[in-house]
Amino acid sequence: MKQEIKVKWLQALRSGEYRQGRYALRTSNNEFCCLGVLCDLYSREVGGEWAYEVYTSTLCSLFVAKHDEEGSDTSTGQLPGSVMEWAGLEEYNPSVNVARPLLSSLSHELKAELHTTLAELNDEGESFSRIADIIQDQL
């Protein structure tokens, strides 16, 4: 990941400027997934816009990263390709490893490293602060 963009993303996640939402890059209530925050940073620096469409009776956000002769680069739940490339990421939904408790007792806790993605962590309720720590360490 490009370091200058990583720094901006970490600052944005920790700033309190963004309200955290789940299951979409950005909700109609102006709440963001951690990946939606990166899309919003892209829109401020490069361009792009937020739109909303109805999918199966549900209003979903759609980030439109670019319009050109080749069409639009859009996404609802992961990074559009142009945002991924701009940030220097190799995945549309970056993979990470996190320690999760498997068994807990009064004397000790057994943990295991589990492979997951940033969107899954966000949708499971991990805070932006915790997600920022993971991004800082692993991307």
CA dist., res. 14 & res. 77, Å (int): 21
pTM: 0.85
CA dist., res. 136 & res. 2, Å (int): 12
Question: Above 90 in pLDDT, residue 91?
Answer: yes
CA 77 remoteness from chain centre: 9
**pLDDT tens per residue, range 51-81:** 776 655 555 566 776 655 555 666 667 888 8
Q: How confident is the model over 1-10, as a mean pLDDT?
A: 98
Residue type, 33: C
